[in-house]
A = this chain, B = another copy of it.
Amino acid sequence: MLSECDIPKYWYNVIADMTNKPLPLINPGTKQPLKAEDLYPLFAKACADQEMNYTDRFIDIPDEVRDMYRIYRPTPLVRATGLEQALDTPAHIYFKNESVSPVGSHKLNSAIAQAFYCKAEGVTNITTETGAGQWGAALSLAAKHFGLELAVYMVKISYNQKPYRRSIMQTYGAEVIASPSMSTKAGRKVITERPNYQGSLGTAISEAVELAMQTPNCKYVLGSVLNHVALHQTVIGMEAEKQMEMAGEYPDVIIACFGGGSNFSGLSFPFLRHNLSGEKQTRFIAAEPESCPKLTRGVFQYDFGDEAGYTPLIPMYTLGHDFSPANIHAGGLRYHGGGAIISQLKRDNLVDAVDIPQLESFKAAALFARTEGIIPAPESSHAIAATIREALRAKVEGRAPVILFNLSGHGLIDMSAYDRYFANDLSDYHVSDDEIIALTSKLEKIV
């Protein structure tokens, strides 16, 4: 257990330590690499500068951000003895419990930072998208704290599946719009072409970007994928590193679920630097859903971050920006691309990935709830499932690895998904190779 004075004073910028840096973002019009200034119209300047910072290893966390972190940080590191016993495994399983934040997930770590930077630069309005609503809830709270008006495009399937998350955002004072919506050109196009489409993060991003560009004194804020979001999330790993040291162990395996990479990056990067320096040989495993397998089965290519093609081109593993993920309950993992840093690390074999079927994730979640007492978010359950796989394999092989995973959020708002699981009303969703090849073949060849 750490005290408030142990809240990190710096974020860790892994790019500074990478031998092969991520490839640059590309302007889709000119096909030229982007500079930080090119992002100023869309993002807070501080975030744009962080996005392009390839040199500074540590970046100061502003006092105002640390002050707000104190609401819930440092978060606990827990030895999962109940789960270990249930699995009868010699592995030592630890988890970092990010579910204790008032919005129930790690997303607040970057929401606070981005809202602060916007406010400090005189911005009055911000827009964003959200999948399951974890990010939207976090940003709603941060926006209220710093006095910003916020509009959230929430993926329609989650808007309907998770009405409580919508209510949470509204309780914090945000405006919530189901996406695709008629309020933007991008949304209208999708609705016209596919009237029953239940939305995706890609489409919601397009709508949020479009609204930001058309609103005076307004910036767009993103909850994952980008370098500066991963940077803000490294408070997770910075704390965990100190806590593992207090526990007298060092992780052999680090596991986190993977949607756009924010919680995976946040836990992993501070440990990864010891791999990059050659001191350690920890394995890093990104647990993605079987239904959205960009790291395990996508192609490495330049692709848009959104469905409509408003964003810069990002060098990443992708399923294609018009990939339509199945309507799984882990809404936060329904994203087509892996982001620039993680994709480069994956390419260099510095991180691994596994894909987890939905039913396996819920089975793991139920076991975790009954042994550790915390009902996990459907997203986090993918990390738990991957942890269980490792722990059982270790048992067969007679090894006793130290496994650390990120409990990125709790599932108290996702109980309808649990109801459906226990009623045998959920399915797995396999993506065909044909679909992946068809969608990714359409991408422009720039690399």
Contacts and interface: CB of A to CB of B under 8 A. Distances in A.
A104 B171 contact: no
Given A170-B422, A171-B418, A375-B102, A370 B164 contact: no
A234 B139 CA distance: 36
A410 B101 CA distance: 12
Copies of this protein, total: 2
A152 to B, nearest CB: 15
Nearest to A142: B373
A280 interface: no
B370 A168 contact: no
Contact of A415 (B102, B164, B372, B419): B164
Interface in A147-171: 163-164, 167-168, 170-171
Contacts of A171: 366, 369-370, 375, 415, 418, 422
Nearest to A4: B1
Interface string A365-406: 010011011110000000000000000000000000000000
Contact of A419 (B71, B104, B167): B167
A416 interface: yes
A8 to B, nearest CB: 16
Nearest to A144: B370
B145 A373 contact: yes
A413 interface: yes
Contact of A412 (B144, B366, B374, B413): B413
A91 to B, nearest CB: 20
A373 B103 CA distance: 8
A141 to B, nearest CB: 5
Contacts of A102: 373-375, 410
A173 B86 CA distance: 15
Given A3-B1, A100-B100, A373 B141 contact: yes
Interface string A405-435: 0000010110110110010000000000000
A172 interface: yes
Interface string A170-191: 1111000000000000000000
A154 to B, nearest CB: 14
Interface string A3-36: 1100000000000000000000000000000000
A393 to B, nearest CB: 26
B373 A415 contact: no
A366 B144 CA distance: 12
A247 to B, nearest CB: 12
A416 B375 contact: no
Contact of A172 (B163, B172, B173, B369): B369
Nearest to A82: B145
Contacts of A422: 170-171
A172 B1 contact: no
A370 B173 contact: yes
Contact of A168 (B82, B145, B172, B375): B375
Contacts of A82: 145
Interface in A34-50: none
A358 B256 CA distance: 42
Nearest to A412: B412
Contacts of A370: 144, 171-173
Nearest to A374: B102
A15 to B, nearest CB: 31
Interface centre among A164, A374, A410 (most CB of B within 10 A): A164
A164 B412 CA distance: 7
Contacts of A103: 373
12 contacts: A1-B3, A1-B4, A3-B3, A102-B410, A104-B412, A141-B373, A163-B419, A168-B412, A168-B415, A171-B375, A171-B415, A172-B369
Given A71-B373, A171-B366, A172-B370, 4 more contacts: A102-B373, A145-B373, A168-B375, A168-B412
